[in-house]
Amino acid sequence: MTTQTETHEAPAGELGKARLRKEDDRLITGQTSWTDNITLPGLVHMALLRSPYAHARITRVDLSAARAQPGVIAAFAGADLADEQGSMPCVWPVTDDIVMPAYPPMAVDEVRYVGDAVACVVARDRYAAADALATIDVDYEPLPPVLDMRAALDENSPKVHEAGNKCYEWTLANGDIDAAFRDAPVVIERDYVQQRLIPSPMEPRSVVCAPIGDEYTIWSATQVPHIVRILLSLVTGIGEHKLRVIAPDVGGGFGSKLEFIAEEVITVLVARRVGRPVKWTESRSESNMASHHGRDQLQRIRIAADRDGRIRGLSVDLLANMGAYLKIVGPGIPLLGAFMYNAIYKMDAYSFRCTGVFTTTTPTDAYRGAGRPEATYAIERIMDELATELGMDPLEVRERNWIKHEEFPYTTIAGLTYDSGNYEAATAKAKELFRYDELRREQSERISRGDPVRLGIGVSTFTEMCGLAPSKLLGQLKYVAGGWEYASIRVLPTGKVEVVTGTSAHGQGHETAWSQITADALGVPFEDVRVLHGDTLVAPKGMDTYGSRSVVVGGTAVHSACLKVIEKARAIAAKLLEAPPEELEFTGGAFQASGGGQSKTIQEIAFAAFDAHDLPDGMEPSLDSDSTIDPANFSFPHGTHLCAAEVDTETGMVTIRSYVAVDDVGKVVNPLIVEGQVHGGIAQGIAQALYEEGVYDDAGNLLTTTLADYLVPSAADLPSYVTSRTETPSTTNPLGVKGVGEAGTIASTPAVVNAIIDALRPLGIRDITMPCTPERVWRAIESARSLGDPSARQNGGTA
Amino acid sequence: MIPAKFDYVRPSSLDEAVSALAGGGEDAKVIAGGQSLLPLLRLRLAYPDLLVDVGGIAELRGVSDQGGTLRIGARTTHYDIVGDPLIAAHCGLLAEAAGTVADPAVRHRGTLGGSLAHADPAGDLPAVILALDATLTARGPGGEREISAADFFVDYLTTALQPGEILTAIKVPKLGDGWGYRYEKFHRTAQAWAIVGVAALTRRSNGQVAEARIGLTNMGPVPVRATAAESAAAGVSASHDALRSAAAYADEGTQPPGDLHGAPDYRRHLARVLTGRALAAAAGV
């Protein structure tokens, strides 16, 4: 089957219109309430004391001085809450024999990372609470830290948990991998490091809990209010029906807020103890230590190919750092990558193994892209190595192996069926915008004239899986929840429309995009639609927002609910127009008989449904409709990103000179939002390539606890991007949409590093560990030069 | 920000500020723009009992021409320095370096005096002031005194200011004809501190560099002058090669720190490379 690939033109209807985001007025003028802005009568403030040790036994916690501090209302240690705090759940036990240690929200007898919560203070203001923390006396008996994943797997290693440091081993294999590698003319093996990243949303985490009788309202800066409600109920034993969870406007998450956090449990338990509303808001340093981290995998990747560049097989062996405990979906993150190492390429065999490892570090979980950026990085890096080995252009070796446009839908070696794609079109467009051939010429000219600033070109032809997820498949992967999404359309008597969605936007622009989908389907003005979300009382059902799922699953649910509204309206229109329903056409928000004549607008029908004077017999007086959509498949956006980087060989400084991104995210609801996601995504991927790394010292202290040490790039550090799109609709949902939240992040990291290596390959450099800091680049150059220069080798005596 | 408790006064005259500060003893601190002090308070690395806010004292702000020197009030912000015509005309190096400090929000709040009194060797302006041979004026209970930039920076985050003294002004000798300048700042992100910074001034005469002054940022516990490179550059022809050779001495006598952004040997290397570039740019080659 072939799907049409189009370059975008100005749309006639709402879908595809470049509307400014309706939520931005309040977000950028401060006319909103973030969780930390919430004040309630009698509100008190909680602060958490966190472990300064990576690993230690707690032998004594003395809270008496803290309790005597002015303004302090209560103080609790882990032992005080031990009977009621339960254990933080992991909902993705990826194997039958996975080790799932107890994870107390507040440590009781042992701390396992710097930042583990040990005690809390509740005070009349946050200053008194912070002052009181300093008076808590804790005796620790230090235990050996466990930091290196390979060393942790040694049987003599100190243990993070009694059951050992190996959490799980998960494998996937298809095809005859031995045959693929046996006698293969080309075999390349590389080790890559996915450094630890700290998600760093602009708004740190914050929780407010108001107990009223035996009911609790919880505000949390979360991506997942529905999941928080369920898990909070399961962990605390408070009935789900007595919990209301509200995610007000949330200032970014990047995966860090898809978590069900220990601090949510502690805030609720403490609010119950003190009988007053309690607020907890973390500082940036606290966020860096105790909010979950991302990535942190060691990758070994082997590729076997024929001399003509055809891939025979791919083998991947991962170590994935779980940190000290299992977070909500932590063990599953590498599995999301397992299906993506084969990327857009055809091959005969594939094998994948991931070993999850416990260490005494901050626990890890989803971070923008979640498994897929790691996979894309490794395959796109080794494709460049393959091209070098074969003396081929990196785009040529990719094209030789990628799935052709006419071959979709295509079932890959990893077992997923890609819905649609057109790698040829996206790549051709990217090459043209990038001026690929011209830059290649400049690259060789610089080498010939001995320019100390080298130019490199990096390629990334990526795909990813979005639209999480078919519930059946999630079940097969041992994920304990489904992947459906819910929407409800409420047509008000005056013809205005309320859309209730189970997605939970935290910067994505759902209020605008869902309004466009609704306006387009119902023919009502965009301004007449209001989107309600992020409050379990208002939007009682939903699976929330992560993994680029919202438009694909949640947007489809909105669309599907709209179609049900239209069918109800059709019945009323038929009655009012005295025509058979099947003869009515619905266009531009009005019903009209196919032969012409009178028409009825959706607004008129809305009022008719409300006054209910003249409805068809037996019909309920309402147009309201809802829909719960379980996707039949993932969707697979793709694209070609090209990066030109200049590397100053005297200082090691890398400067991105130009960056072209051609993304194919299927049909587009709002091109401005897509553009924004691509820009932010590329920035975040560049951040991994060049800037960000969570670093521990040998004792397990996190050294990157402030934004002065953990370098998040700003607009001043990033190039202007050239972005464009091709449009190959998804075939698995009626809107043809694919998802875009993570595409830029997934694509850009390998594009940038490939460019750096391309610039330095003539010096004999084939890898630099991320982030490619100036110092690392300079050291790589120095080391390559000393190896390449015989006199230096003799003098240095290291080679 | 959740700092420890402190008292706060905002005097309207310098005399009041001096007496408030003296009354506060060792645990009193001056706050101007707060761009260095507030992060320390936020991290609870500093616990002053009293903050004396000099933000209301008009006489501490602004630039005046005093003949051979410019007098810059200590409370003059980086933003004001960047746009000041007297500074542009007579010591443009200061404006160039001030323009690289952090981000626009910091430049609007942060002050020259605050940056110098904080004496972070990773700050940009201490090395610049050192290279400009500036003199700093301090007022204490005993009156006013002048301290040369060379004597001002005593140790990491430590200056020659006594408890009770307020830095009031910076006097910068005007650069005469033939002087050129460049601040080469090497940092990983726009808002990050310099891994190494080089403030270079050269006086050109007849195709030669007659005189060079080089201040180094973040190459030791205090900002330092690269005196060996200065001597090596004096009298050489204004050419890339000659200046690069002189710059090979730039790290002599330095004690660069090691941190996440660079080990000492890398900083030494950067100091040499950047000094070569800064000298060449200053000399207009």
Asked if A653 reaches chain B (Cβ–Cβ under 8 Å), the answer is yes
Are the Cβ atoms of B186 and A708 closer than 8 angstroms? Answer: no
Distance to chain A for B107, nearest Cα, Å? 15
Are the Cβ atoms of A717 and B189 closer than 8 angstroms? Answer: yes
Which helix (H) or strand (E) segment is B131 a member of? Answer: helix B124-131
Instruction: Give the span between the Cα atoms of A669 and B167, in whole angstroms.
Output: 59
Instruction: Identify all chain B residues contacting A709, using CB atoms and an 8 Å cutoff.
Output: 260
Number of alpha carbons in the 13 Å side-chain half-sphere of residue A29: 6
Using H for helix, E for strand and C for coil, what is the string for A590-630? EEEECCCCCEEEHHHHHHHHHHCCCCCCCCCCCCCEEEEEC
Selected for mutation to probe chain B from A289, A453, A709, A775 (highest B CB count within 10 Å) is A775
Residue A13: per-residue pLDDT: 86
- Regions of chain B where pLDDT drops below 70: none
Domain contains A621: yes
What residue in B sits closest to A772 (Cα-Cα)?
B188
Residue A30: per-residue pLDDT: 87
Asked if A651 reaches chain B (Cβ–Cβ under 8 Å), the answer is yes
Q: What is the DSSP letter of A689?
A: I
Are the Cβ atoms of A775 and B261 closer than 8 angstroms? Answer: yes
Domain contains A478: no
Instruction: Identify all chain A residues contacting B198, using CB atoms and an 8 Å cutoff.
Output: none
Residue A789: per-residue pLDDT: 59
- List the CATH number of the domain containing A595: 3.30.365.10
What residue in A sits closest to B258 (Cα-Cα)?
A775
What residue in A sits closest to B42 (Cα-Cα)?
A283
Number of domains in chain A: 1
Distance to chain B for A790, nearest Cα, Å? 22
What is the sign, positive or negative, of the torsion defined by CA atoms of A498, A504, A507, A513? negative
Instruction: Give the span between the Cα atoms of B139 and B137, in whole angstroms.
Output: 7
Burial A510-525 (b: 16+ CB within 10 A, else e): bbbbbbbbbbbbbbbe
Are the Cβ atoms of B190 and A716 closer than 8 angstroms? Answer: yes
Are the Cβ atoms of B266 and A711 closer than 8 angstroms? Answer: no
Distance to chain A for B38, nearest Cα, Å? 14
Instruction: Identify all chain A residues contacting B278, using CB atoms and an 8 Å cutoff.
Output: none
What residue in A sits closest to B193 (Cα-Cα)?
A708
pTM: 0.96
Distance to chain B for A65, nearest Cα, Å? 17
Query: pLDDT per residue over A73-104, tens digit each?
Result: 999 999 999 999 999 999 999 999 999 999 99
3-class DSSP assignment, residue A764: coil
Selected for mutation to probe chain A from B35, B184, B191 (highest A CB count within 10 Å) is B191
Are the Cβ atoms of A131 and B270 closer than 8 angstroms? Answer: no
Residue A794: per-residue pLDDT: 41
Task: Calculate the alpha carbon distances from B53 to B20, B57, B125 in Å.
Answer: 10, 9, 21
Query: pLDDT per residue over A315-361, tens digit each?
Result: 999 999 999 999 999 999 999 999 999 999 999 999 999 999 999 99
Chains A, B: CB contacts within 8 A come to: 56
Domain contains A512: yes
- Nearest CB to A774: which of B2, B43, B188? B188
- Nearest CB to A127: which of B5, B190, B274? B5
Residue A247: per-residue pLDDT: 98
Instruction: Give the span between the Cα atoms of A260 and A225, in whole angstroms.
Output: 9
Instruction: Identify all chain B residues contacting A283, using CB atoms and an 8 Å cutoff.
Output: 2, 42
- ipTM score of the complex? 0.97
Instruction: Identify all chain A residues contacting B105, using CB atoms and an 8 Å cutoff.
Output: none
Residue B1: per-residue pLDDT: 85
| Six-digit token string for A631 | 């996707």
Distance to chain A for B198, nearest Cα, Å? 14
A 102-141 residues with CB below 8 A of B? 126-127, 130-131
| Six-digit token string for A277 | 């509303």
Nearest to A147 by CA among A371, A370, A357, A367: A357
What residue in B sits closest to A650 (Cα-Cα)?
B273
Residue A595: per-residue pLDDT: 80
Domain contains A131: no
Range of the domain at A514: 484-629
Domain contains A561: yes
Instruction: Identify all chain A residues contacting B273, using CB atoms and an 8 Å cutoff.
Output: 650-651
Q: B279 and B247 in contact (C-beta within 8 Å)?
A: yes
Distance to chain A for B3, nearest Cα, Å? 7
Q: A381 and A303 in contact (C-beta within 8 Å)?
A: no
Are the Cβ atoms of B4 and A131 closer than 8 angstroms? Answer: yes
Instruction: Give the span between the Cα atoms of A774 and A650, in whole angstroms.
Output: 10
Selected for mutation to probe chain A from B1, B187, B189 (highest A CB count within 10 Å) is B189
Instruction: Give the span between the Cα atoms of A545 and A222, in whole angstroms.
Output: 10
Instruction: Identify all chain A residues contacting B193, using CB atoms and an 8 Å cutoff.
Output: 708
E runs forming strands in A125-202:
137-142, 166-174, 186-197
What residue in B sits closest to A713 (Cα-Cα)?
B189
What residue in A sits closest to B274 (Cα-Cα)?
A651
Selected for mutation to probe chain B from A650, A695, A705, A706 (highest B CB count within 10 Å) is A650
A 256-295 residues with CB below 8 A of B? 283, 285
Distance to chain A for B245, nearest Cα, Å? 15
Residue A750: per-residue pLDDT: 98
Are the Cβ atoms of A773 and B261 closer than 8 angstroms? Answer: yes
Instruction: Identify all chain B residues contacting A452, using CB atoms and an 8 Å cutoff.
Output: none
Residue A461: per-residue pLDDT: 98
Domain contains A505: yes
Bridge partners for A439 per DSSP: none
- Regions of chain A where pLDDT drops below 50: 1-2, 790-799
- Nearest CB to A711: which of B3, B44, B192? B192
Domain contains A584: yes
Q: B282 and B175 in contact (C-beta within 8 Å)?
A: no
Instruction: Identify all chain A residues contacting B42, using CB atoms and an 8 Å cutoff.
Output: 283
Q: What is the DSSP letter of B70?
A: E
What residue in A sits closest to B196 (Cα-Cα)?
A651
Q: B118 and B219 in contact (C-beta within 8 Å)?
A: no
Domain contains A532: yes
